[in-house]
Amino acid sequence: MINRQALLADIQGLLKHIEADLLDRSTSLEVPEIGQALRTRYAEAQSASRTALNFEDWRTDAITQVAAAWVLSAVFVRFLEDNGLIPVPKISGPAGEKLKRARDEHELFFRSYPKLNDRDYLLSLFDALTKHAATAEVFGPHNPLRELPQWLSGDAGTALIGFFQKIDANTGTLIHDFTNPALDTRFLGDLYQDLSEAARKKYALLQTPVFVEEFILDRTLSPALDEFALATPDYEARLENDGRLNPADRFRMIDPACGSGHFLLGAFERLVQAWRSKEPGTNASVLVQRALDSIHGVDLNPYAIAIARFRLIVRAIYLLGVKRLVDTPAFHVELACADSLLHAPFRVSKSEGQRQLDFELESEADDECDHAYFAENLPLAKKLLERKQYHAVVANPPYITPKDSVLNGRYRKRFDSCHRQYSLAVPFLEQIVALACPGGYTGQITANSFMKREFGSKLIEQFLPRIDLTHVIDTSGAYIPGHGTPTVILFGRNRKPVGTTVRAVLGIKGEPSTPADPAHGLVWTSILRQIDKAGAQDDFTSTADVSRETLGRHPWSIGGGGAAELKEQLEEACESSLESSVDSIGFMCITKQDDVFSQPRSVLVRNACEGEHIRPFGIGEEVRDWTTENGDWVIYPYDKAVRTLSKDRVPKLLRFMWLNKTVLEDRKVFGGQTYRQVGKPWYEYGQIPVDRQSTPLSITFAFVATHNHFVLDRGGKVFNRTAPVIKLPADATEDEHLALLGLLNSST
């Protein structure tokens, strides 16, 4: 059986070994064609405005994807071998006779092809699996390793094979055994999430727990199936001769950020069960393929798509009771590697000339991105991402902000709700609704930051009022494994609002301790128990029907137990607002390159930087409990009047910063030009409002925090945009600052 924790730890080490090999080969003079090919592909991506990364960072991403493809492809083969679906093992098999047989097969290959190496041996195994209809797409032309198969060295191929043949010296058995009678592939979800730490952080890789997936499918897929398929009187009449539905009549669901396929697997099982109940006499393989025809997924991560595709095929094999891969029907799976936000055919209203979710008007497609990386199947992706075709749309989209400036701009252009420093939850929410057919059901778990932070204002005030948002469920207090970011679940339908209220489950307090079983945590159980009972309340949540008018105003307050009502009463009773009592509220500086300007004080002192032009640097996460922690310091190239210093005033500072001069010159100003193009001094900040530097006293606060954290600063510190400042009138005394500080830190 599979030891998930040990497998993950060991495979992470294997991945790093493969990555190092690919990096070495991409810079090697022995195989210059690899580096040249990568340069060409990078230039194509840049030309298509697909990336703003420099070549080295872009190549690092490509290396991770290709290394993962090699490792996971070998894992897939081992899983098939260990579970008897491939009767003659080629990589390994349980220690003993099967391991010996695999080594014999390896030796026979090199007797026939003595000039080849272990990379070629692995490729021959993958080639053989493309001849099996069920696994052709898994190992086929869009697998990232197929683009430059010679990129991996023969020695790395040997390391791959050796990894899967390692024997435990104490037991004499293989260290990693993939045998599983139930053909359970959930371990692949763990690999997807944690295989590469760099990829996990960059792309916010996170699998959805089963209990969350089931809850969302219960309220999207199940009612959609009842309404659009099972309850349709002429359902049988629409069946073709082979028991399938005409493409135009099929029930459809999609996850446009499907990851390793948890929602898809859950939907697949439900659909098979539904078709079996409806047609107990129909051939099982027909029903399984019909279910596969109904589920669709898109993800920009090629190894996520590979895992999702393999998991669906394996589950189909299990449900049919097939024992050998050669006996498996030619299943087709509708999954595509692509960027759901970039390649989706968008719509422009002819009458108003602007993008919008439009329920009546005819529309035409706007400009799309036609560039595709090798692993991306653009024709299929564009078909899957056609709007208004799905009866159910579900997702757990990434919670990150798009760091790549080119992609950030393209998403912003395509989705009206993208505002300021938006998170990907915003365009995905628009996309999820737009993919649904008229009346289609939508559900997603997403970061709740849009509810309070400024970037969510357009989403809440302009987009959500136009759709039938049905449920808002505060899950920030529930324990959901892997989800460190506070979340909310949103349900809705792609139609104009119905009724004047939205059912809301409001949080009162969080999980008191980590539950042994997250599916039975106190907060999650409270949500399940009370979601359908208006006015219900316990220690953890309360349920209310909130007016759409209230939810059409930013920010949202979804505190339960009367917190929202109390907030409204306080706002109605207040005599003045904070805004009317202060001069300004906002950031003190934006360097646009904190990694250069912010350094440990010891580093700046050791490099003899001018002491009067380095200052303590304050960031939001250090503003806690009436004080700011001492963190890094920041280079401050300004005089007392906040005028940029001439180069001769800070020669040592500039010498220290010189290695980053090109990076700093490449920063953008408003309008899109660089510092270099407009002649702006390369050592200046991005922005520094002069008026907020003119008086020493400030009240700073953490821009993102779970509680009130306001701190009085008496001057001398520089705060970045994560710690905005409140500036009172110039003649305000310290006592006036302290009085306001006390109020801001109070519970009200």
Average pLDDT over all residues of the chain:
90
**Which residue(s) pair with 713 in the sheet?**
698
* The predicted structure's pLDDT at residue 322: 92
* Tokens coding 674: 């660089």
Averaged pLDDT, 659-686:
91
CA 151/CA 141 separation, integer angstroms: 16
* The predicted structure's pLDDT at residue 173: 84
Residue 487 has pLDDT above 90, yes or no: yes
Q: Terminal CA-to-CA distance of the chain, rounded, Å?
A: 55
Output 667 or 190, whichever has higher pLDDT. 667
* The predicted structure's pLDDT at residue 630: 80
CA 356/CA 335 separation, integer angstroms: 27
Q: 50, 371 in Cβ contact below 8 A?
A: yes
Lowest mean pLDDT among 197-211, 406-420, 539-553, 658-672: 197-211
Averaged pLDDT, 26-47:
95
pLDDT in tens, 226-284: 999 876 555 555 555 555 555 557 899 999 999 999 999 999 999 999 999 989 999 99
Averaged pLDDT, 394-400:
93
* Tokens coding 660: 């980053």
3-state secondary structure (DSSP) of residue 715:
coil
pLDDT in tens, 546-577: 999 999 999 998 777 777 777 778 888 888 88
Residue 621 class from Cβ within 10 Å (0-12 exposed, 13-18 middle, 19+ buried)?
Answer: middle
Q: 703, 588 in Cβ contact below 8 A?
A: no
Residue 618 has pLDDT above 50, yes or no: yes
* The predicted structure's pLDDT at residue 171: 83
* The predicted structure's pLDDT at residue 347: 52
Residue 106 has pLDDT above 80, yes or no: yes
Lowest mean pLDDT among 15-19, 91-95, 212-216, 381-385: 91-95
Question: What band does 601 get if pLDDT is binned at 50, 70 and 90?
Answer: very high
Q: Is 680 left (phi over 0), alpha (psi -120 to 50) or beta?
A: beta
Lowest mean pLDDT among 121-125, 160-164, 193-197, 610-614: 193-197
* The predicted structure's pLDDT at residue 75: 96
* Tokens coding 31: 């195989």
CA 117/CA 159 separation, integer angstroms: 12
pTM of the model: 0.83
Averaged pLDDT, 77-106:
86
CA 724/CA 741 separation, integer angstroms: 14
Output 171 or 93, whichever has higher pLDDT. 171
3-state secondary structure 634-655: EECCECCCCCECCHHHCHHHHH
Residue type at 392? A
Residue 612 has pLDDT above 90, yes or no: yes
Residue 338 class from Cβ within 10 Å (0-12 exposed, 13-18 middle, 19+ buried)?
Answer: buried
Q: 476, 507 in Cβ contact below 8 A?
A: yes
Averaged pLDDT, 512-536:
96
* The predicted structure's pLDDT at residue 365: 38
pLDDT in tens, 311-321: 999 999 999 99
Averaged pLDDT, 322-348:
86
* The predicted structure's pLDDT at residue 94: 62
Among 497, 432, 425, 498, smallest CA distance to 459 is for 425
* The predicted structure's pLDDT at residue 348: 42
CA 180/CA 512 separation, integer angstroms: 36
Q: 713, 695 in Cβ contact below 8 A?
A: no
CA 695/CA 737 separation, integer angstroms: 12
Averaged pLDDT, 382-407:
93
Distance of alpha carbon 297 from the chain centroid: 14
Lowest mean pLDDT among 181-190, 231-240, 590-599, 727-736: 231-240
Averaged pLDDT, 484-500:
95
* Tokens coding 78: 């081992």
Peptide bond into 247 cis (omega under 30): no
Averaged pLDDT, 289-300:
95
Residue 172 has pLDDT above 60, yes or no: yes
* The predicted structure's pLDDT at residue 748: 64
* The predicted structure's pLDDT at residue 351: 39
Among 88, 30, 50, smallest CA distance to 402 is for 50
Residue 381 has a CB neighbour count (10 Å cut-off) of 22
* The predicted structure's pLDDT at residue 362: 35
CA 242/CA 498 separation, integer angstroms: 40
* The predicted structure's pLDDT at residue 231: 65
CA 521/CA 191 separation, integer angstroms: 26
C-alpha dihedral, 291 to 297 to 301 to 305, nearest 10°: 10
* The predicted structure's pLDDT at residue 232: 58
Lowest mean pLDDT among 146-160, 365-379, 724-738: 365-379
Query: Tokens 């009842």 label which residue?
Result: 226
Percent of the chain at pLDDT > 70 equals 94
* Tokens coding 473: 């469920």
